[in-house]
Amino acid sequence: MDVDPGEVTEADLHWLRQAIELSRRCPPSTTAFSVGALIVDGGSAGNTVVADGWSRRDDPHEHAEESALARAGSETRLTTATIYSSLEPCSARASRSRTCTELILASGLRRVVFAWREPEIFVDCDGAERLRAAGVVVIEVPSLAPLVRKVNAHLASCRG
């Protein structure tokens, strides 16, 4: 029996927790969230990790989804993959010309799972809505958001 792509699965929870763990690798910043992202192919290859990334991995302005997508390269299998991100993909950025939402849409990814909606600390984000409007399946798992807030406790407004 096929699983509805809009339903949260045990595999989704597993991979999202892994993305949250990746966020712990982020170099500290008082002006940016610490975010982890993981691209997993759920197509005929099964649950295979395509790429991972985290904020500020190679560049102080790099976002987690951007990092993972760069490592995935021009993989054609992204149409059957899911990107797991600890934080909602950004839809506004001061440091780059393309947002993570735009990069995801350009990559061909058709499914996004994240834990925490981006709070209005740095920008007003509506990445989930933009992705859905473009036909991408977007799943929010708020039960894991406290783990993401804990990783981002260095930002005063994320504590608690």
Which pLDDT belongs to residue 1? 41
CB atoms within 10 A of CB 151: 23
Each residue's pLDDT tens digit in the chain (160 positions)?
A: 456 677 889 999 999 999 999 999 998 888 889 999 999 997 655 688 999 999 999 999 999 999 999 999 875 668 889 999 999 999 887 778 899 999 999 999 999 999 998 776 666 678 899 999 999 999 999 999 999 999 999 886 665 4
Global confidence as pTM: 0.91
What would the pLDDT profile of 24-65 be if each residue is shown by its tens digit? 999 888 888 999 999 999 765 568 899 999 999 999 999 999
Residues tagged active-site:
65
Residues 6+ apart with CB under 8 A from 91: 99, 100, 101, 123, 125, 126, 127, 130
What is the three-class DSSP state of 132? helix
Please tell me the distance from the alpha carbon of residue 46 to that of residue 92, in angstroms, as a whole number: 33
Which pLDDT belongs to residue 136? 96
Amino acid in position 13: L
Which pLDDT belongs to residue 157? 62
| CA-wise closest residue to 141 among 10, 1, 2 | 10
